[in-house]
Amino acid sequence: MDYFLTEEQQMIKDLAARIADERVKPVAAELDEKEEFPWELMKVLGEADLFAVWVPEEYGGLGGGVLEQALVVEELSRACSGVAVSYAASALGSFPIILFGTEEQKQRYLPDIASGKRLAAFALTEANAGSDVSGIATTATLDGDEYVLNGTKQWITNGGEADIYTVIAVTDKTKGPRGYSAFIVEKGTPGLSFGKKEKKLGIRASATREVIFENCRIPKENLLGREGQGFVITMKTFDRTRPGVGAQAVGIAQGALDEAVKYARERVQFGQPISSFQGIQFMLADMATQVEAARALVYSVARWIDSGAKDVSQAAAMAKLFASDVCMKVTVDAVQILGGYGYMREYPVEKMMRDAKITQIYEGTNQIQRSIIALDLIKKAARKNK
Amino acid sequence: MHIVACIKQVPDPSQARIDRETGLVIREGVDKIINPYDLHALEEALRIKETKGGKVTVLSMGPASAEQVLRDAIAMGADQVILLSDRQFAGADTLATSYTLARAVARLEDVNLVICGKQAVDGDTAQVGPGMAAKLDIPHITQVRKLRELTEDKLVAEKLTDRGYEVVEVPLPAVITVVKELNEPRIPGLRGMMRAKKAEIPVWGPEDIEAEADRIGLKGSPTQVWRTFEPERHRKGEMLEGTPSEQAAALWQRLRSL
């Protein structure tokens, strides 16, 4: 289907597709097996200017937004979503700076992110703070011209690999989430260290680690926005990155669908290719329809956000929710169509099925997305009836 | 250092077919790409520039549509491109092509090294690189798989042979033709692609390179293609029957009678 992308957007998508097919696909299984961070591929993406697509032109970017980032993530995910999420996490870590950074902060950090020279990461989750962010225990205390950070962040994508961390910490315990603030912490700062690399079900090429702060002192100027804005910064950031998770889901699902169609045409049983059986045909038809619907939603939401729309949280949640549920279903069906072969690691679909699961979990579980969507509905209805 | 890379636009070999009636390669509806070996030539030129400084000029001779491969070259990082395109250049064999490209190189300033792919995948002659060197009266190394040492006036390179490789030293300027083992061509970036889209592609004709009219194009081409045809496929299998020793004896007889 034609989504009427601009010439530049089409160029971005085509380039990402080329890199996915020529560079990522051939090494995807190996990266998964070895759980190796794909630095070489990050370099390729950097040289291709793909880290620049969501960064404003004034700061060394190409001036695109959520849609451009989503196009790249989708294409990379078709080949390996572990690679795609390592790329996307840099967007997640940099959106707080783009949205809330001072001119000086933007000048200082964004050009290196745009060139791919430095990766970014976003550090929110803790052992007792996931869906319920009110459990955050990491603190930041102002001491003269410095904030002192203490606490441990968990499951941080690009942890240890990224150079720039956007960190959410408590500056005022008495205020709950309104007492959270966001900070920029650079790798190499004394007191910042990294825990063990997590062993995961999927997206195994990506690095997921603890990020530990022990009397980690950062200059006062590294506060993003104002004290107490941490929660708002987080939500505004997720509004821009959840469609990206949706794009990741669309990409994985498209990859699985492609494999399923290819296999169904080749695999002969009962004297004919299994693609001639209506049972298989109907499965493929449903998969393709769902993937297209998910893509249409993700692109529409991304475009809408890029237009400068406000109050986009519900739509962003819908894009992430719908696409990730489609992704899980489509990848399970792809494994089913490939049968025994689908279950084996020699074929790529079992990895896609493993990779799919995380899209229903991170950046807010799909239950949290449903809460956001429902509360928004109810709130709007209540306002109308007043 | 001024490095010149010569590239050719060819039909994508994965889509190549021959018209059985005319014996000609069908070019319509077939994607056109940079000759794969030439990509390695261009990549090496760019790497030399990146490590030693200087500039990369890319030449291509062909119809107006060959402009696209030069845009691709700009996207990858070429500083200057020139399309040699004129009706009088058409129908050139390797002799006329070598002459034409050599004339163009001679018009460029202070060229240290000319790099070509080892051959084009459509003609497969591997003659144009050495042909250019002959016309320019400078040395050449074919089948280069690695540059060992490169200075302003000397090149030491590994030349691939059937049995291994030879290490060859030449004074510069020189021409080299390269094989795929040399490097991995880069994928162009978005900024390069945008620059390439807007770029003006200069076109040179015979007068720009002061070419003699009877040495270019069809007039300058003593080679005439007599006939092009697809080889007929003989794949008639024959099963030998009997016990293994009878089969072996029968096979021996057949081989002896060849």
Q: pLDDT of A365-382, one tens digit each?
A: 999 999 999 999 999 999
Q: Is the pLDDT of residue A296 over 80?
A: yes
- B18 falls in which pLDDT band (50, 70, 90)? confident
Q: Is the pLDDT of residue A358 over 90?
A: yes
- Rounded Cα distance between B169 and B182, Å, is 17
Q: Which residues of B touch A52 (CB under 8 A)?
A: 190-191
pLDDT for the residue numbered A385: 84
Closest CB to B187: pick one of A8, A19, A52: A19
Chain A residues at the B interface, defined by Cβ less than 8 Å, are 8, 11-12, 15, 18-19, 22-23, 44, 47-50, 52-53, 62
The whole-angstrom distance between A254's CA and the closest CA on chain B is 24
Q: Is the pLDDT of residue B17 over 80?
A: no
Whether A87 contacts A207, CB under 8 Å: no
pLDDT for the residue numbered B224: 81
The whole-angstrom distance between B104's CA and the closest CA on chain A is 32
- B16 falls in which pLDDT band (50, 70, 90)? confident
Q: Is the pLDDT of residue A173 over 90?
A: yes
Cβ of A48 within 8 Å of Cβ of B194? The answer is no
pLDDT for the residue numbered B230: 73
pLDDT for the residue numbered A132: 85
Average pLDDT over residues B83-99: 93
- Enumerate long-range contacts of B20-23, CB under 8 Å, 24 or more apart: B20/B230, B23/B227, B23/B228, B23/B229
Closest CB to A11: pick one of B186, B187, B190: B190
Whether A138 contacts A149, CB under 8 Å: yes
- For chain A, what percent of residues have pLDDT higher than 70? 100
Q: Is the pLDDT of residue B232 over 90?
A: no
Q: What ipTM is given for this predicted complex?
A: 0.86
Cβ of A52 within 8 Å of Cβ of B187? The answer is no
- Closest-CA residue of B relative to A57 is B191
When the pLDDT of each residue in chain A is averaged and rounded to a whole number, the result is 97
Q: Is the pLDDT of residue B229 over 80?
A: no
Cβ of B190 within 8 Å of Cβ of A53? The answer is yes
Taken in order of first residue, the domains within chain A and their CATH numbers are 7-119 (1.10.540.10), 121-227 (2.40.110.10), 231-381 (1.20.140.10)
The whole-angstrom distance between A277's CA and the closest CA on chain B is 31
The whole-angstrom distance between A130's CA and the closest CA on chain B is 37
pLDDT for the residue numbered B234: 74
Q: Which residues of B touch A22 (CB under 8 A)?
A: 187
Higher per-residue pLDDT: B239 or B131: B131
Q: Is the pLDDT of residue A311 over 80?
A: yes
Q: What is the pLDDT of residues B188-215, one digit of tens each?
A: 999 999 999 999 999 999 999 999 999 9
Q: Which residues of B touch A47 (CB under 8 A)?
A: 186-187, 189
Cβ of B189 within 8 Å of Cβ of A18? The answer is no
pLDDT for the residue numbered A226: 97
pLDDT for the residue numbered B197: 93
When the pLDDT of each residue in chain B is averaged and rounded to a whole number, the result is 92
Q: Does B189 touch chain A (CB under 8 A)?
A: yes
The whole-angstrom distance between A326's CA and the closest CA on chain B is 31
Q: Which residues of B touch A49 (CB under 8 A)?
A: 189-192
Closest CB to B190: pick one of A22, A44, A49: A49
Average pLDDT over residues B29-51: 94
Beta bridge partners of B4: B57, B114
pLDDT for the residue numbered B28: 78
Q: Is the pLDDT of residue B137 over 80?
A: yes
- Rounded Cα distance between B218 and B91, Å, is 5
pLDDT for the residue numbered A376: 96
- Token code pair at residue B79: 């500083």
Average pLDDT over residues A315-330: 98
Q: Does B194 touch chain A (CB under 8 A)?
A: yes
pLDDT for the residue numbered A240: 96
Say whether domain B2-256 belongs to CATH 3.40.47.10. no
Q: In sequence order, which residues have a C-beta less than 8 Å from that of residue A76 and are 6 or more positions away?
A: A16, A19, A20, A24, A45, A83, A84, A87, A251
Q: Is the pLDDT of residue B23 over 90?
A: no
Q: Which residues of A touch B194 (CB under 8 A)?
A: 8, 11
Q: What is the pLDDT of residues A226-236, one digit of tens each?
A: 999 999 999 99
Cβ of A48 within 8 Å of Cβ of B189? The answer is yes
The whole-angstrom distance between B14's CA and the closest CA on chain A is 16
The whole-angstrom distance between A47's CA and the closest CA on chain B is 6
Higher per-residue pLDDT: B188 or B123: B188
Closest CB to B189: pick one of A8, A22, A49: A49
Q: What is the pLDDT of residues A93-146, one digit of tens each?
A: 999 999 999 999 999 999 999 999 999 999 999 999 988 888 899 999 999 999
Catalytic residues of A: 363
CA distances from B8 to A213, A339, B215 (A): 57, 46, 20
Q: Does B36 touch chain A (CB under 8 A)?
A: no
Ranges of each domain in chain B: 2-256
Q: Does B198 touch chain A (CB under 8 A)?
A: no
| 3-class DSSP state of B147 | strand
Cβ of A52 within 8 Å of Cβ of B190? The answer is yes
Q: Is the pLDDT of residue B225 over 90?
A: no
Cβ of B190 within 8 Å of Cβ of A23? The answer is no
Q: What is the pLDDT of residues A19-37, one digit of tens each?
A: 999 999 999 999 999 999 9
Cβ of B189 within 8 Å of Cβ of A47? The answer is yes
Q: What is the pLDDT of residues A183-213, one digit of tens each?
A: 999 999 999 999 989 999 999 999 999 999 9
- Closest-CA residue of B relative to A45 is B189
Q: What is the pLDDT of residues A253-277, one digit of tens each?
A: 999 999 999 999 999 999 999 999 9
Q: Which residues of B touch A53 (CB under 8 A)?
A: 190
Beta bridge partners of B166: B159
- A2 falls in which pLDDT band (50, 70, 90)? very high
Q: Is the pLDDT of residue A71 over 80?
A: yes
- Closest-CA residue of B relative to A17 is B187
Higher per-residue pLDDT: A251 or B238: A251
pLDDT for the residue numbered B176: 96
pLDDT for the residue numbered B27: 74
Which of A11, A19, A49, A68 to mutate to test binding with chain B, by most B CBs within 10 Å of its CB?
A: A49
Q: Which residues of A touch B191 (CB under 8 A)?
A: 49, 52, 62
